[in-house]
């Protein structure tokens, strides 16, 4: 069995079940409901939606701090002094978490860091895939594990579509007029992750069920995503009927293994209610 432990932030949206299965430790990010600052993962993300409904504003999010990382690193080291730690970081371009994690590595030569350039299920996917590789290769040392994780980063893709533009407007990511027109015309953006940055790469128009089908078809084909599995993220309020659209679309595209994950407070704050995302690995190993 590998003597390397994986660490991710809560913004990866990895489930407690997957974290327990693979021995992955989760460092909390933070969500502020005005003066009430909470650790992501300690509250129902529906509270984010309720806060927006009540105030018309979204909570504020912040990354994991150096103390958060130090606490987790020390806990792992105390439990197993011989274990190496591979920190697979939430995109460094979007948060201070990575720099705080690196700062916490000072004096801890048993830790290595890799910027996954991913958020939400993209980060979770890399962590799970890396954990599986470590189970197959217990002989890998920490530096070899870091190299292999960096290879996964190069072929990983994650994207999501919000149900509407209300949360993007409330969070200052689009104007009131853009949100109003977009909602009236049923226009939603595709938010892609490119070199660690969240970028709106195209727009879809129509019923959300049709958007789901078109987005999944185009995205999986564009990046030649492996048929092995897809990771699916859902924010609070995602309807069961739309889950069935995802299942049927995936089946039609020959994806029979879906890993369903629910977003936590950080990602719900940015994605809003009823949003969904997908993540996969390019089977040809080349990022377009």
| 230-234 and 60-62 strand pairing | unpaired
User: What are the CB-based long-range contacts (under 8 Å, 24+) for 220-223?
Assistant: 220/253, 220/255, 220/278, 220/280, 222/288, 223/157, 223/280, 223/282, 223/287, 223/288
Is the distance from CB of 26 to CB of 40 less than 8 angstroms? no
Q: 35: which residues sit within 8 A by CB, 6+ positions away?
A: none
Asked if pLDDT for residue 172 goes beyond 50, the answer is no
Is the distance from CB of 23 to CB of 84 less than 8 angstroms? no
Report the distance separating Cα 272 and Cα 193, nearest Å: 17
* Mean pLDDT value across residues 27-41: 97
Query: In this predicted structure, what is the pLDDT of residue 184?
Result: 35
Q: Which of 63-77, 215-229, 240-254, 273-287 has the lowest mean pLDDT?
A: 273-287
**Confidence class of residue 173 from pLDDT cuts 50, 70 and 90?**
very low
Provide the 10 A C-beta neighbour count for residue 279: 28
Q: Which of 8-12, 24-28, 78-82, 201-205 has the lowest mean pLDDT?
A: 201-205
- Compute the 3-state secondary structure of the chain and give helix, strand, coil in percent, each to the nearest 5: 40, 25, 30
Q: 89: which residues sit within 8 A by CB, 6+ positions away?
A: 8, 9, 97, 98, 101, 113, 114, 115, 116, 123
Structure confidence by residue, pLDDT tens digits, 88-138: 999 999 899 999 999 999 999 999 999 999 999 999 999 999 999 999 999
Q: What are phi and psi of 49, to 5 degrees?
A: -65, -40
Query: In this predicted structure, what is the pLDDT of residue 29?
Result: 97
b (16+ CB within 10 A) / e for 70-98: bebbeebbeeeeeebbbbbbbbbebbebb
DSSP assignment letter at 186: T
User: What are the CB-based long-range contacts (under 8 Å, 24+) for 108-111?
Assistant: 108/73, 108/77, 110/77, 110/83, 110/84, 110/85, 110/142, 111/73, 111/84, 111/85, 111/86, 111/87
State the pTM of this model.
0.92
List 37's β-bridge partners, or say none: 32
Residues in the chain: 288
List 203's β-bridge partners, or say none: 189
* Mean pLDDT value across residues 31-55: 96
Among residues of the chain, what percentage have pLDDT more than 70? 90
């Amino acid at each position: 069995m590998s003597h390397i432990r994986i660490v991710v932030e809560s913004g990866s949206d990895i489930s407690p079940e997957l974290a327990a299965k693979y021995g992955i430790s989760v460092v909390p990010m933070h969500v502020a409901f005005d003066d009430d600052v909470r650790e992501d993962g300690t509250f129902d993300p529906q509270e984010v939606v309720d806060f927006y409904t009540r105030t018309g504003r979204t909570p504020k999010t912040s990354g994991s701090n150096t103390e958060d990382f130090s606490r987790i690193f020390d806990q792992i080291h105390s439990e197993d002094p011989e274990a190496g730690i591979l920190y697979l970081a939430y995109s460094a371009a979007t948060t201070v978490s990575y720099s705080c994690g690196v700062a916490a590595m000072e004096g801890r030569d048993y830790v290595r860091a890799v910027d996954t350039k991913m958020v939400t299920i993209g980060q979770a996917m890399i962590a799970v895939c890396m954990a599986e590789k470590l189970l197959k290769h217990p002989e890998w040392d920490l530096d070899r594990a870091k190299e292999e994780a960096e290879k996964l980063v190069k072929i990983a893709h994650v994207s999501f579509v919000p149900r509407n533009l209300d949360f993007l407007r409330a969070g200052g990511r689009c104007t009131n007029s853009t949100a109003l027109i977009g909602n009236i015309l049923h226009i939603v953006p595709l938010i892609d992750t490119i070199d660690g940055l969240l970028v709106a790469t195209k727009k879809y128009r129509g019923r959300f069920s049709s958007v789901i089908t078109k987005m999944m078809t185009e995205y999986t084909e564009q990046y030649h995503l492996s048929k092995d599995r897809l990771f699916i993220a859902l924010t609070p309020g995602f309807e069961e009927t739309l889950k069935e659209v995802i299942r049927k679309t995936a089946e039609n595209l020959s994806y029979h293994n879906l890993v369903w994950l629910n977003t936590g407070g950080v990602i719900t704050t940015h994605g809003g209610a009823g949003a969904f995302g997908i993540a996969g690995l390019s089977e040809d190993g080349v990022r377009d």
